[in-house]
Amino acid sequence: MIDAAGKLIAKADRIVAFSGAGLSAESGIPTFRDSHAVSGALWTKYDPMTLASPEGFAADPQAVIAWYNWRRRTIAAAQPNPAHQALAAASRNSGLVNVTQNVDDLLHRAGAQHVIQLHGSIAVDRCHGQCGHYEAIDLANPPDLRPCVRCGEPMRPGVVWFGESLPADAWTAAERACSQCDVLLVVGTSAAVYPAAGLINYAKSHGSRIIIVNTQPSEASRLADFELIGPAGEIVPQLFDR
C-alpha cells in the first residue's frame, strides 16, 4: 500500500499536505486530544477545548497563558521529526504545499517553504482587543499575561480559538491549493475540526486523490484512496523516497 501511494505521489504534479497534531506527536508535542496531564499543572482541571477559546481566556486568562507557555516551552525543546523533514524537503524540491492546523513552528524549522497555518501560530502574541498589534515571542522564554502596549487590552497567543474565524488570507490560499492539487496527503489529523477538515472533501470533490497517514482511523477514513495506518515519522519519508 505504501508503494502504491508512493507511486501516486511520484507522478503527481501538485501535492498538498494537510496536517494536524499527529504530525508533531513523535516530536513529543501532545496531540489535542491526548491528556495534557502535567502533574500539578494549573490547567489539568480544564479541557483543552475550553482553554483554546475566548470564553476560557475570559474566565481564567492566567490558566490559558500558563497552558500556552507550557506548550511553547515543550515546542522550543522539541525537534522536527522525519515526517516534518520529508514534507519540508518535498516543499523545496517539488513545490509541495503544507496546509497545517498546527500552531507549532516545526515545519518552518525543518526548512519547509510555503507553509499555510490555518489556525495561526503559537510563536507570536497578538492583541485580544484586535488593535492589530502583535509581537514575535521567544518560545523558550515566553512572556506572562500582559497588556497590549498600544491599547491596553490583554495580549494572547496568535492562534485561532474555537469560535474565532480563521485568517482570511490563509483560508483563501488553502482553498485554492486544495482545489488544484492532484494528491492531498492527510497526515495526523482526527479531521474533527471545521472548517479546516472540510478541505479534505473539498479537494476530493475537485478531483484530488486522498492519501491518509494516521495511527488510527479518523473521520476522513471514508474519503481515502489509501489509508496508511502507522506513525507519520515512519511512513511519510517512505512516500517520498522514489
Grid cell at residue 126 = 497578538
CB of 13 to ligand BV8, least distance (A): 26
Q: Establish whether 108 is a catalytic residue.
A: no
Q: Which helix (H) or strand (E) holds 91?
A: helix 82-94
Residues 106-145: x where in contact with Zn ion by CB under 5 A, - otherwise, as a string: ---------------------x-x-x-x------------
The nearest distance, CB 207 to ligand BV8, in angstroms, is 24
Beta strands in 84-239 (DSSP E): 97-100, 115-117, 120-127, 134-136, 155-159, 183-187, 209-214, 226-229
> Quick one: which H or E segment has residue 6?
helix 2-10
What DSSP character marks residue 11?
T
Identify whether the C-beta of residue 212 lies closer than 8 Å to the C-beta of residue 227: yes
Annotated catalytic residue within 84, 119, 133, 206: 119
Site for ligand BV8 in 3-62 (CB under 6 A): 20-22, 25-26, 31-33, 52
Residues that bind Zn ion (CB under 5 A): 127, 129, 131, 133, 148, 150-151, 153
Residues that bind ligand BV8 (CB under 6 A): 20-22, 25-26, 31-33, 52, 101-103, 119, 159-165, 188-190, 192-194, 213-216, 218, 231-232
